[in-house]
Chains A and B, each alone.
Chain A
């Protein structure tokens, strides 16, 4: 018995020292924090090989999740991938550092229409990674009348067939645009109206979901869902009966971009990583794997013809004319919180 315990102790000590030894290696490291399921992981080993920098890769599920981790301190990431409005907030709260554009030559390859938006006026902090719209996906084998507007999501013929996002901004945006308001509304009266609309819609809704919406739509659990365009591409691969439409009231145009947090340990490696991700062949590899739309024209040209001409991934300029980018509304977050609580708690 004694002997066994001694052996166990030795084993524990050994394994701990191996772990510690593994950590203290001199190889430079870059800590990357990205959305779940949002990269072709082969790219990471390609980067490691080319630059001799080890990539420590981790994932998050929502912008707010990322914000909490970053603002509470204690964690150090070198490259993170927030969306537009969250970048705006992080810049305002002084959580990011400016990137040195000289270190990111591939930034020139990014299409001008994806640069210098309101969330980061002169692109001093961010390099776009993917972009897209929010729209309605529907299953042509399950319904006869196809939706083409947000208002259709209030049509009783779709009772029990609609899946909405379990996400404050995305779901309120649907109601706000239906009412003809800006999806960045800070007006309490407009938000109250949106609340009434969403409570009215509730009996028709099958469920409010996060990422599970992909599986649910693919397997035909429900006929209609509100989704990001990049997810729609993937869903259409898996189930050809699905179609995606940008509603006529206009929608949200979004960007996920790469930024460097203020407390980054290795800014140099971070910029190398961002430049690598912006290189057309790498950007194409990622876009091909996850189905989202790349903001780099040279990368798009490397994709299949079919994908290049897919209006879901790469809509024409007219189609995205009537869109808005999210602004940060953190200053009225209490109103959003109350409105959302009342919607989700309504019976």
Chain B
């Protein structure tokens, strides 16, 4: 009963910063009219139709999902071993290591992305070294690979941290029991450690996939705006064309897409009520 008093500010917060904005996006998404004047709004599914009747938008959406999916897989392949290795260290060393991993995140996201421009540019540091060694200059920037690199680099910590936290909290008795019962290292990992760490993996996957699928800065800076992602098209509607209705429609479609993919991943996650680390 006493707790209820403390949930009150939380509910206000939720209403002001989540429920009302979300409602506004929904309102804009299913109406047309002058976006500055709410009295001109009329219910309409025109914008939905516009999205699904033009191959351009579907193509861009699929492209965004594809790039986000690839970067999530890469983050998982790199992030899981990192989290595993760090979690096996003794607590003191392990905290230092995870701190080292987190420190770059204290710097602004944009700055870190800009830094890649000076590293990867035609006259960037990497190319200077390559040409000094007598090799041909390589075009790293302004293609899909550069965008993927930007996504993996920026979002990798979001994969490592939840996996790390669930691995360190894991009940060591279970692992010892498995070993006592004759399982070798690989079997223990496959049958005990990995299944128990799944909630962390799922959290990591969501936390990488969601920002990756909706990013517009990375494709703009590292992709040179050469092929838009869905985030770029949404930005264009809000910042340039001024059609907030169509922009909102695209945001809603993207949200539905994210929800579907999260539903799919959580089906693999049988221990949803696992010990923390889960997002849902």
Binding site for B on A (CB under 8 A): 62, 64-65, 67-68, 71-72, 160, 166, 168, 202, 205-209, 212, 216, 219-222, 333-334, 336-337, 340-342, 344-347
Whether the Cβ atoms of B122 and A337 lie closer than 8 Å is no
Whether the Cβ atoms of A341 and B225 lie closer than 8 Å is no
- Nearest CB in chain B: distance from A151 CB, A: 22
Residues of A within 8 A of B241 (CB): 333-334, 336-337
Closest to A333 in B: B241
Q: Which of A71, A219, A344 has the most CB of B within 10 A?
A: A344
Given contacts A337-B243, A345-B59, contact A221 B122 (CB under 8 A): yes
- Nearest CB in chain A: distance from B254 CB, A: 15
Whether the Cβ atoms of A166 and B142 lie closer than 8 Å is no
Residues of B within 8 A of A206 (CB): 142, 224
**B1 interfacial contact with A, CB 8 Å:** no
Report the interface size for chain B: residues with CB under 8 A from the other chain: 29
Given contacts A65-B239, A207-B142, contact A344 B123 (CB under 8 A): no
- Nearest CB in chain A: distance from B109 CB, A: 17
Given contacts A220-B122, A221-B123, A345-B59, contact A67 B242 (CB under 8 A): yes
Residues of B within 8 A of A345 (CB): 56, 59-60, 227-228, 233
Given contacts A206-B142, A219-B123, contact A62 B240 (CB under 8 A): yes
**B33 interfacial contact with A, CB 8 Å:** no
A168 CA to B121 CA in the complex, in Å?
Answer: 25
Closest to A347 in B: B227
Specify which of A65, A71, A216, A341 is in contact with B236 (CB 8 Å cutoff). Answer: A341
Whether the Cβ atoms of B139 and A64 lie closer than 8 Å is no
Whether the Cβ atoms of A208 and B227 lie closer than 8 Å is no
A340 CA to B57 CA in the complex, in Å?
Answer: 12
**B4 interfacial contact with A, CB 8 Å:** no
A213 CA to B114 CA in the complex, in Å?
Answer: 14
Closest to A205 in B: B226
Specify which of A160, A207, A216, A333 is in contact with B242 (CB 8 Å cutoff). Answer: A333
Residues of B within 8 A of A64 (CB): 239-240, 242
A209 CA to B141 CA in the complex, in Å?
Answer: 13
List residues 233-249 of chain B with CB under 8 A from any CB of chain A: 233, 236-243
- Nearest CB in chain A: distance from B27 CB, A: 16
Q: Can you name 25 A-B pairs with beta carbons within 8 Å? A: A62-B239, A65-B239, A67-B242, A68-B239, A71-B242, A160-B139, A166-B220, A206-B224, A207-B142, A212-B117, A212-B221, A220-B122, A220-B123, A333-B241, A333-B242, A334-B243, A337-B241, A341-B56, A341-B236, A344-B225, A344-B227, A344-B232, A345-B59, A345-B227, A345-B228
Specify which of A65, A219, A346 is in contact with B121 (CB 8 Å cutoff). Answer: A219
- Nearest CB in chain A: distance from B278 CB, A: 33
Residues of B within 8 A of A68 (CB): 238-239, 242
Whether the Cβ atoms of B36 and A72 lie closer than 8 Å is yes
- Nearest CB in chain B: distance from A53 CB, A: 31
Whether the Cβ atoms of A340 and B56 lie closer than 8 Å is no
- Nearest CB in chain B: distance from A70 CB, A: 11
Whether the Cβ atoms of B240 and A168 lie closer than 8 Å is yes
- Nearest CB in chain A: distance from B85 CB, A: 38
A25 CA to B239 CA in the complex, in Å?
Answer: 35
A166 CA to B226 CA in the complex, in Å?
Answer: 9
Whether the Cβ atoms of A207 and B141 lie closer than 8 Å is yes
Closest to A207 in B: B224
A219 CA to B240 CA in the complex, in Å?
Answer: 29
Closest to A337 in B: B241
- Nearest CB in chain B: distance from A35 CB, A: 16
Residues of B within 8 A of A220 (CB): 122-123
Given contacts A71-B36, A207-B142, A220-B122, contact A344 B240 (CB under 8 A): no
Given contacts A341-B233, A344-B232, A345-B59, contact A166 B225 (CB under 8 A): yes
Whether the Cβ atoms of A340 and B236 lie closer than 8 Å is yes
A161 CA to B164 CA in the complex, in Å?
Answer: 45
A221 CA to B141 CA in the complex, in Å?
Answer: 10
Residues of B within 8 A of A202 (CB): 226
Residues of A within 8 A of B142 (CB): 206-207
- Nearest CB in chain A: distance from B216 CB, A: 12
Whether the Cβ atoms of A208 and B123 lie closer than 8 Å is no
Residues of A within 8 A of B224 (CB): 206-209
Given contacts A220-B123, A345-B59, contact A208 B242 (CB under 8 A): no
- Nearest CB in chain B: distance from A331 CB, A: 13
Closest to B222 in A: A207
Whether the Cβ atoms of B123 and A207 lie closer than 8 Å is no
Residues of A within 8 A of B123 (CB): 219-221
Residues of A within 8 A of B226 (CB): 202, 205, 207-208, 344
A72 CA to B228 CA in the complex, in Å?
Answer: 27
A347 CA to B221 CA in the complex, in Å?
Answer: 17
Residues of B within 8 A of A342 (CB): 56
- Nearest CB in chain A: distance from B225 CB, A: 4
Residues of A within 8 A of B242 (CB): 64, 67-68, 71, 333
- Nearest CB in chain A: distance from B10 CB, A: 21
Q: Give 5 nearest A-B pairs by CB, closest first.
A: A207-B224, A208-B225, A337-B241, A207-B142, A344-B228
- Nearest CB in chain A: distance from B229 CB, A: 9
Whether the Cβ atoms of A341 and B36 lie closer than 8 Å is no
A334 CA to B47 CA in the complex, in Å?
Answer: 12
Whether the Cβ atoms of A207 and B225 lie closer than 8 Å is yes
List residues 117-158 of chain B with CB under 8 A from any CB of chain A: 117, 121-123, 139, 141-142
